[in-house]
Structure 1
Amino acid sequence: MSKPSLICGSLAFDTIMSFGGRFSEALLADQLHKINVAFLVPQLRREFGGCAGNIAYNLKLLQGDPLIMATIGQDGSSYLDRLKQLDIDTRCVRNIDAAYTAQAFITTDADSNQITAFHPGAMAQSHENKVGDAGKVALAIIAPDGRDGMLEHARDCASLNVPFIFDPGQGLPMFNGAELEHFIELATYVAVNDYEAELLTERTGLSLHQIAQRVSALIVTRGELGAEIFTDGQRIDIPCVKADAVVDPTGCGDAFRAGMLYGLTQEMDWPTTGRLSSLMGAIKIASQGGQNHVPSRAEIEDRFQRAFGYRF
């Protein structure tokens, strides 16, 4: 029986609203010290999100075996029901009755400016989960989550000899240079986007080359420019796959990470793993939200062959 991939990260609800005007027309520059404004948002949608949920969703599309380690609150039953319907293992999802599930409230204006309010809720208790409770796993990923949970899960993986991907994402600013360097020392792989790579090098004082020397591979995604994988003293350039449409970048990084998890657990070479990851990001960007794209495994395989000339 194959071992699952442990996905440590957040489960969250994203409430996304569209304001037809411009924030700049409602905010007076000389009155910013006493703001009292309301925006009419006739368009609203609620999405299932959070890094752990998005990664697990995409890994399941590839017919991988995700096991989520996360926390939800008193309002999280609908998310649990969804994961169970998708046949995603939720035995390591802890319910925090005294909190709400993490959620983001995002309002976008006509110029694509955004005002976001984020409530961490149950995510702040993620450290109550223990990696050892997951049993035997093939690989783990430490994705954005509660600060204490990320630190503890990394230490747990290292002590249990569980290889893991350190994926700090938007959680990176929570950690100082010494803490980030400690994550790198414990991790098997590090995955960041280009902005996060700059912040990581700035805070740790380490160059990308020095970080790559401390892990089996350093992966840096660069949006429409593709990605770079630094491993065994070489750099592998991964091309960006042309998307059918560019609709919403939300969750593209998570889709990319799912491709990495699948490629690594299937012992694919790095060029193939990187290309599959790139393809998963391109498939996601053509849909709204992080979990609304629904390609079959066969469709993913066919798209990979069309893009790269061979099957994974």
Structure 2
Amino acid sequence: MTALICGSVAYDNIMVFEDSFRHHILPDKIHILNVSFLVPRLRREFGGCAANIAYNLKLLGEDPLPMATVGHDFGPYRDWLRQWGIRTDHIRTLDDYYTAQAFITTDLDRNQITAFHPGAMNRSELNKVTDATGVTLGMVSPDGRTGMIEHAEQFAAAGIPFIFDPGQGMPMFNGEELRRFIDQSTWVTVNDYEWQLLKDRTGWDVEDVTSRVDALIVTRGSEGSSIYTASAEYEIPIVKPAAIEDPTGCGDAYRAGLVYGLLHKLDWETTGRIASLMGAIKIEQHGTQNHIFTRQQFEDRFKASFGRSL
């Protein structure tokens, strides 16, 4: 069983400004804004939806296959993925581009200023779903616009069931395009904000979506998540984390849990709880690929969290 995860691979450059932006950005001077922030602390993390999901699937004992386009600076990231035994067969390097990168500056009030350079991600259509063999399940997650459209078409044409996960990429698509994605996909997953946007753009509600896909999964942060099918609704509780360090990447960890459950044909209540636990484990660590656990540790925590064995 192999899951092909189409999406971004990116570097996250995270900086901390040890003051408040509001002390340096003057409202009456916005029209001539020219500010500089000293950031003594800097972390460079490995990120991107496809790689984050693949990392979490690897922790769960799977052999995920990320598909992405990266730039000439991908070397350290490639070494990291290979260190974890994550295949890079379908991560294409484009020498004329940089790997996608986010530059995030956070102040002491936890406000953020982010700049994102898509780089090689914008050429994701160069990869074809049919380039991979032995794929039993697919995922279309945030990536280059053309790549997302073509990969969905290719999964559907190949008869490979796939999850549509528009995420931050949703603003790139109009209602007609989003309706097409849903019609092609087998499952749809969004957070609560994205669900509202999806409803607004498509004009569809829960019943409209679940009449077209096997399940709609909506995550709601600290309020848990909901899994809707044509015949039932499952409310998935959260797992209380030991600490809340960094929510970045929690959605990707949750989605890895969904993929795991689907690969193993588990029921929705079990699948949702695996996903919920994955999100809690991630939030306890900074960065999107710094958490780690053994299979036994995961099973023990699952039982402690939900009162039953996995």
Alpha-carbon contact 1:157-1:163 (below 8 Å) kept = yes
CA contact (8 A) 2:207 2:230 kept: no
1:31 aligns with: 29
Paired residues for 1:45-84 under 5 Å: 45-84=43-82
1:95 paired with 2:90, answer no
Which residue identity lines up with residue 89 of structure 1 in the other structure?
A: R
Matches within 5 A, 1:131-146: 131-146=129-144
Residue matched to 2:300: 302
1:207-226 alignment to 2 at 5 Å?
A: 207-226=205-224
Q: Secondary structure at the match of 2:274?
A: helix
The alpha-carbon deviation at position 24 of structure 1 amounts to 1.0
Structure 1 runs of 4+ with >4 Å offset: none
**1:311 to partner: Cα distance:** 2.0
Residue 5 of structure 1 is matched in structure 2 by 3
Q: After superposition, give the CA deviation of every residue in 1:240-262 in whole Å (9 maximum; x if it has no partner).
A: 11111111000000000000000
Find the aligned partners of 1:138 and 1:306 in 2 and give their Cα distance: 32
Counterpart-to-counterpart distance in 2, 1:41 and 1:158: 46
Deviations 1:270-305 (A, max 9, x none): 100000000000000000010000111111111001
Contact (CA 8 Å) 2:100, 2:118: kept in 1 or not? yes
3-state SS in 2 of match to 1:229: strand
For 1:90, what is the secondary structure of its paired residue?
coil
Q: What is the distance in 1 between the residues matched to 2:206 and 2:15?
A: 38
**Where do residues 1-312 of structure 1 align in structure 2 (5 Å cutoff)?**
3-312=1-310
CA–CA distance in 1 between the matches of 2:154 and 2:134?
A: 13
Residue-by-residue CA offset, 1:67-125 (whole Å, 9 max, x unaligned)? 01001100001111111111111101100110000000000011100000000000000
Provide Cα deviations, 1:124-156, integer angstroms capped at 9, x if missing partner. 000000000011211011010001100000000
Number of residue-to-residue matches in the alignment:
310
- 2: CA distance between counterparts of 1:221 and 1:209? 17
Distance 2:63 2:230 in 1: 28
Matched residue SS, 1:140:
strand
1:232 shift after superposition: 3.3
SS at match of 2:235: strand
Give the Cα separation in 2 of the matches to 1:208 and 1:197: 10
- 8 A contact 1:190–1:218 mirrored in 2: yes
Distance 1:309 1:31 in 2: 57
> Shift in Å at residue 239 of structure 1?
0.4
Instruction: Using the aligned pairs only, state the percent identity.
Output: 58
Q: Partners in 1 of 2:296 and 2:41 — Cα distance?
A: 35
DSSP-derived class of the 2:211 partner: helix
Asked if 2 retains the 8 angstrom alpha-carbon contact of 1:213 and 1:233, the reply is: no
Amino acid corresponding to residue 57 of structure 2 in structure 1:
L
Distance 2:56 2:213 in 1: 25
Q: Which runs of 5+ in 2 are unaligned?
A: none
1:62, distance to aligned residue in structure 2 (A): 0.3
> Can you give the 5+ residue segments of structure 1 that lack an aligned partner in the other structure?
none
Question: In structure 2, what is the Cα distance between the partners aligned to 1:115 and 1:208?
Answer: 34
Which whole-Å CA distance do the structure 2 matches of 1:5 and 1:88 have between them? 12
Q: Which amino acid aligns with 2:185?
A: A
State the distance in 2 between where 1:43 and 1:71 align: 29
CA distance in 1, matches of 2:288, 2:206: 29
